[in-house]
């Protein structure tokens, strides 16, 4: 018992006792963390590396299999309206987007756990879930880009087509990417329009974080929450929508790319959250983390009461 050490005379105490206990506690937390989440972190890391390798080395099968129509001297066709926009550098680059998708959930989860005095395991599960949602979404959207793809709005400016003969089709005006004379790296990028990876991963991170905030602060529950908590809940969703706005403003994607990316991100966020927690919207259990070693034994009344007494009181909620 810790209290037994406090009543001993100062001369009989071991000077390094407190330090040793702290080291032992730290080692115990590290061991528990490794047992609980070690395999998950390794798996996520491998999936992330595979996704980057696919994006870098696998040819754009879907984009390179497509045809576009080239009508010399005609600049008002529907296809020119869709693919003839000027090329602009992205407002938010890939690495900035990745940093925001990981950094913002990490910041929110850290602050929430500090305010509610949550345990290290609870914090680690939240961070792991958020990163898992982003990386799984990244993996899926890269596969779709590679196998489906499509032309970006600035396709013609990036491609700079110079056909050396008639094309294919009924009127011989349809061509593939092989007639392009532009920069090859930009051409590869311009063949990967669908879906928007920026929007997909932003919604995966934002929706997961909003579900986490709901589970932590019980936004959807049997009482009225403070408006500040509602703002916290809506902030990640707003940031995800703003990401879609930035992608639309710099004409990196079509509207259907953005909508498709949002749907994909939302779906993966829900799937990921449910794979880490007992429920999604049930306020009695959606804060309880699942374990890989044993099944969850449902105790709704006890779990909900214990959670309200332990966590919600730090926010002075009714």
Answer yes or no: do 175 and 78 share one domain.
yes
Q: Check whether residue 161 and residue 240 sit in a common domain.
A: no
| All residues at 6 or more sequence positions from 118 whose CB lies less than 8 Å from its CB, including other chains | 112, 311
Contact present, 98 and 205 (Cβ < 8 Å)? no
Residue 100 has pLDDT above 70, yes or no: yes
Tokens of 8: 């001993």
- Mean per-residue pLDDT of the chain: 82
The burial of 294, by beta-carbon neighbours within 10 Å (0-12 exposed, 13-18 middle, 19 or more buried), is given as: exposed
Using left for φ > 0, alpha for ψ between -120 and 50, and beta otherwise, residue 287 falls in alpha
Q: Which domain holds residue 257?
A: 94-150+193-318
* Higher-scoring residue by pLDDT: 283, 268: 268
Q: How many domains does the chain have?
A: 2
Please say which residue of 136, 167, 191 terminates a domain.
191
Predicted model pTM: 0.83
Q: How many CB atoms lie within 10 A of CB 206?
A: 30
Q: Are residues 275 and 219 in the same domain?
A: yes
Domain presence at residue 40: no
pLDDT tens digits for range 181-219: 989 999 999 999 999 999 999 999 999 999 999 998 888
Q: What is the mean pLDDT of residues 139-167?
A: 91
Q: pLDDT digit string (tens) for 56-78?
A: 888 888 888 998 888 766 555 66
Give tens-digit pLDDT for 211-232. Answer: 999 998 888 887 788 889 899 9
Same domain (yes/no): 262, 302: yes
């Amino acid at each position: 018992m810790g209290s037994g050490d406090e009543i001993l005379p100062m001369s009989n105490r071991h000077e390094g006792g407190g330090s040793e206990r702290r080291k032992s506690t730290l080692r115990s937390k590290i061991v528990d963390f490794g047992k609980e989440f070690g395999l998950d972190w390794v798996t996520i890391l491998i999936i992330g590396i595979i996704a980057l390798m696919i994006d870098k080395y696998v040819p754009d099968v879907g984009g390179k299999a497509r045809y576009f129509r080239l009508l010399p001297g005609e600049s008002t066709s529907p296809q020119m309206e869709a693919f003839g926009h000027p090329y602009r550098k992205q407002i938010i680059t890939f690495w900035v987007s990745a940093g925001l998708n990981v950094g913002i959930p990490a910041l929110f989860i850290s602050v929430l756990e500090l305010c509610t005095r949550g345990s290290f395991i609870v914090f680690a599960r939240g961070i792991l879930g958020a990163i898992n949602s982003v990386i799984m979404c990244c993996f899926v959207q890269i596969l779709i880009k590679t196998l489906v793809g499509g032309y970006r709005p600035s396709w013609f400016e990036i491609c700079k087509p110079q056909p050396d003969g008639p094309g294919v089709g009924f009127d011989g005006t349809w061509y593939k990417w092989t007639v392009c004379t532009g920069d090859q790296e930009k051409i590869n990028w311009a063949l990967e329009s669908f879906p928007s990876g920026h929007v997909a991963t932003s919604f995966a991170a934002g929706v997961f974080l909003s579900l986490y905030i709901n589970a932590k602060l019980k936004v959807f529950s049997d009482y009225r929450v403070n408006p500040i908590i509602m703002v916290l809940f809506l902030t990640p969703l707003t940031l995800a929508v703003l990401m879609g706005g930035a992608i639309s403003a710099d004409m990196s994607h079509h509207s259907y790319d953005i909508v498709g990316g949002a749907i994909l991100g939302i779906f993966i966020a829900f799937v990921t959250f449910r794979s880490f927690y007992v429920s999604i919207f049930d306020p009695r259990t959606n804060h309880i983390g699942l374990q890989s070693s044993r099944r969850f034994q449902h105790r709704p009344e006890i779990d909900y009461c214990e959670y309200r007494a332990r966590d919600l009181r730090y926010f002075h909620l009714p």
